[in-house]
Structure 1
Amino acid sequence: MIGSTLPLLFLDVDGPLIPFGATRQQLPDGYPTYKTGRHIPGADTNPLITRVNPAHGPRLMALPCELVWATTWMSDANACLAPWLGLPELPVVTWPEPSDEDEQDGLHWKTRELLRWAAGRPFAWIDDEITTTDRIWMEAHHPGQALLHRVTARHGITDEDFTTLDHWLRLHQG
């Protein structure tokens, strides 16, 4: 949305939308899989897409924000996941080459680019790799409000995560 006053929501895929990493002991029956009832390009070539709960699409669309893909899936998120979730084509953050400086400082390689992309706007970022270092760095460098919300990759985004996001985004909409 050009000129939008809504906060941004930077959305990672692997971990938040596609849960992974649980052991057989933690999930004896494995991860649940879902169907959408329609042909989705890429769903048959990437079996992990069926782990994405299509009900998350309407829940994401109901949040008072501008959704932005912040994932290594890049444009594949729009080609495969957006139709699976019933989302429109979303803006995609293009990642620069990771810098050695970030690795030395313990900063996530996405953090600086998300700050540039936000350009002072309030934003929430959901990812399974956010650290305290990212939060401290963002507080020191971002003039607006930011919620860096870590999702547990083993579970993916939960009802509690949606509640937290909805509450924060409503408090920070322009």
Structure 2
Amino acid sequence: MTGSAQRPLLFLDVDGPLIPFGAAPDRYPSFATGSHSPGDEANPLLTRIDPAHGPRLLALPCDVVWATTWMAEANDCIAPRIGLPRLAVVLWPEPSAVDDQDERHGLHWKTRTLVDWAAGRPFAWVDDELTDTDRAWVAAHHPGPALLHRVDPRLGLTDGDYAALDSWLRRQIRVPGR
């Protein structure tokens, strides 16, 4: 990996990538966890989360970080449902005038914070709201490799998404000359 022995980061959103939405409700399977899970009453959409996501995320050669408005609640409600350990969580700053200006120019409100959080480390960002504006801003402001991977929120993470992420992440950890 260029300049660092650390594994790449994978910034993971919840709504869209893990909890699909936007299609007809009967299109989504319901995944029972075998027991009552935290948050089931408060958010019945949690049953849409496929427990197979946990092992698939853990198999990726990266450090997974929650990059969601769920923040720490993702560790309480999502992680146990899919078999993930407690993960690091990006804490979002309070909205500012810069955020308002960014939004007017099409930059996602998470973009600056994730680039700061990565601190030059290679990262993949999985979200359903990514645009070319975010890609261009990251390319201009992040010194390391970055993959901004948009997921169709109607489908959530698919086999194709996992294949693309795995391939990109593995390229980041290859040692030159091997």
Q: Normalising to structure 2: TM-score of the pair? A: 0.90
Q: Which runs of 5+ in 1 are unaligned?
A: none
Q: Which moved more, 1:144-153 or 1:89-98?
A: 89-98
* Aligned partner of residue 37 in structure 2, secondary structure: coil
Identical positions, percent: 66
* Aligned partner of residue 172 in structure 1, secondary structure: helix
- The equivalent of 1:168 in structure 2 is 168
- The equivalent of 2:71 in structure 1 is 74
After the TM superposition, list the runs of 4 or more consecutive aligned residues in structure 1 that deviate by more than 6 angstroms.
Answer: none
- RMSD, aligned α-carbons: 1.4
* Aligned partner of residue 78 in structure 1, secondary structure: helix
Q: Which runs of 5+ in 2 are unaligned?
A: none
Q: Normalising to structure 1: TM-score of the pair? A: 0.92
- The equivalent of 2:130 in structure 1 is 130
Looking at structure 2, the residues matched to 166 and 38 of structure 1 have their Cα atoms a distance apart, in angstroms, of 31
Looking at structure 2, the residues matched to 97 and 129 of structure 1 have their Cα atoms a distance apart, in angstroms, of 20
Shift of 1:4: 6.3
Shift of 1:32: 0.8
- The equivalent of 1:14 in structure 2 is 15
Q: Which moved more, 1:30-39 or 1:146-155?
A: 30-39
- The equivalent of 2:153 in structure 1 is 153
Over 3 Å counting, the alpha-carbon distance change for 1:44 and 1:145 in structure 2 is same
Looking at structure 2, the residues matched to 134 and 89 of structure 1 have their Cα atoms a distance apart, in angstroms, of 28
Letter in 2 for 1:46: N
Looking at structure 2, the residues matched to 74 and 19 of structure 1 have their Cα atoms a distance apart, in angstroms, of 18
- The equivalent of 1:92 in structure 2 is 89
- Equivalent pairs, count: 168
Shift of 1:104: 2.1
